[in-house]
Amino acid sequence: MLLLLLLLLLLLLLLLLLLLVQLLQLLKTSPATTCRVHWHRFWNI
């Protein structure tokens, strides 16, 4: 039982780490500028 709980905790930590990495990547690409570019493209069409 204790082992199962520990494994679940480890899995949760891994998932949190993956989410943090994805968030950091999104911040690096700065979604605001990309969104603006898409908006301009949309209006140009």
The greatest distance separating any two alpha carbons of the chain, rounded to the nearest whole angstrom, comes to 60
Instruction: Reply yes or no on whether the pLDDT at 17 is more than 60.
Output: yes
State mean pLDDT over 7-33: 86
The 8-class DSSP code of residue 3 comes to: H
The residue type of 39 is W
* Residue-level pLDDT at 44: 61
Distance of CA 5 to the CA centre of its chain: 26
Instruction: Reply yes or no on whether the pLDDT at 31 is more than 60.
Output: no
- Return d(Cα 28, Cα 32) in angstroms, integer: 11
- Return d(Cα 2, Cα 9) in angstroms, integer: 11
